[in-house]
Amino acid sequence: MSMKATAIAHPNIAFIKYWGLKDEVGRLPANDSISMNIGCLSTRTMVEYDRSLEKDTLTLNDQKVTRPALQRVTAFLDHIRRKTNSQYFAHVRSENNFPIGAGLASSASAFAALALAGTAALGLHLSEKDLSGLARYGSGSACRSIPGGFVEWRTDPLVGESFAFSFAPADHWNLVDLIAILSEEHKLVGSEAGMISALSSPFQEARVQDAPRRLDLCRKAILNRDINALAKVTELDSNMMHAVMMTSDPPLFYWHPGSLAIMKAVKEWQKQDIPVTYTLDAGPNVHVICLQEAMRMVLSRLRQIPTVLKILKGMPAGPARLLAANTSK
């Protein structure tokens, strides 16, 4: 008997951020969000259910991992086990080709790949919508790594359905995400812990209230391939999320001095008509997003900034995919 599957998923970068939950049990976000999958970066995950196991095991980049990462994986697999009435524990092997925990949303690609492999290994083939809805129980942003290209994560306020869908394919717009890495250290306060305190900031309510307007502007900018409009709303949204973080109790400062140096540089480059923008997640690294035609110039300018350790490059990418499944019983 074999119950094994392997899946691959890309992380995503949000133009309109998810920060805070309105329902922790149902994992419903405080506001809808918009993102783009990042090609070149990926997580590949193999799940094998095994009758003889007494608990799940987790290997991350060839290293055996215990709590708290294993606990989070087990909680997510418990979700799948309840759904499928299965009792088997699993070996999970996951490989990332990018640094974990440095604000690169490794949890997004990790739980998207785990949702797909973890269900396929049991012979369950969920629709994209159901798979996305499932992945969000692992990590909110993971639901956006299930569909391809440019993605929106929406929650229906009436029925509470919450899942992400693609509104433009990966080849719709040749943007490039140049991720300026300033630190590869594991971040001190993860998104999960940080979000719990979001409501303690007086700015969170205003950020959430204004989200529908920013979502409209962002969706239109992407559909019209309008980099100036995208820059305006993306930077505003990133700044607003960081303003909430900085004014939460306890306050969270994810920016490093080098992060601010890049943001200011991007503002200067825009004055020189370079089609570029920036956004930051819960970490110091800066996603510098530009049109492909400007990539060489932006890359060479980023390389001149001394605090930049390295630069990762990603183009818009497709959906999470199953690489192999063997479920003969």
Q: Which of 42, 94, 96, 107 binds ligand DP6 (CB under 6 A)?
A: 107
**CA 41 to CA 267: how far, in whole Å?**
27
Cis peptide before 250 (omega within 30 of 0): yes
Taking the least distance from each CB to ligand DP6, the nearer of 235 and 281 is: 281
Three-class SS of residue 63? strand
Assess 140 for contact with ligand DP6 (CB under 6 A). Answer: yes
In angstroms, what is the minimal distance from the CB of 232 to ligand DP6? 18
Taking the least distance from each CB to ligand DP6, the nearer of 88 and 138 is: 138
Q: Which of 33, 42, 277, 279 binds ligand DP6 (CB under 6 A)?
A: 33
Assess 191 for contact with ligand DP6 (CB under 6 A). Answer: yes
Containing H/E element for 101?
Answer: none
Assess 201 for contact with ligand DP6 (CB under 6 A). Answer: no
Please provide the distance, in angstroms rounded to a whole number, between the alpha carbons at the two ends of the chain: 4
Assess 132 for contact with ligand DP6 (CB under 6 A). Answer: no
Contact 212, 233 (CB under 8 A): no
Q: Which stretch binds ligand DP6 (CB under 6 A): 15-23, 75-83, 172-180, 262-270?
A: 15-23
In angstroms, what is the minimal distance from the CB of 224 to ligand DP6? 22
- Going through the chain in order, the beta strands assigned E by DSSP cover 4-9, 12-16, 21-23, 28-29, 33-37, 43-50, 57-60, 63-65, 89-96, 150-155, 162-168, 175-181, 276-279, 286-291, 310-314, 321-326
**CA 186 to CA 311: how far, in whole Å?**
17
String marking each residue 237-266 x if it binds ligand DP6 according to CB under 6 A: ------------------------------
String marking each residue 268-297 x if it binds ligand DP6 according to CB under 6 A: -------------xx---------------
Q: Which stretch binds ligand DP6 (CB under 6 A): 17-25, 49-57, 81-89, 176-184?
A: 17-25
String marking each residue 40-79 x if it binds ligand DP6 according to CB under 6 A: ----------------------------------------
**Distance (Å) of CA 74 to CA 71, 79, 133, 274:** 5, 9, 18, 46
Scored b (16 or more CB within 10 A) or e, 12-48 reads bbbbbbbbbbeeeeebbbbbbbbbbbbbebbbbbbbb
Assess 139 for contact with ligand DP6 (CB under 6 A). Answer: yes
Residues that bind ligand DP6 (CB under 6 A): 14, 17-19, 33, 105, 107-108, 139-141, 191-192, 195, 281-282
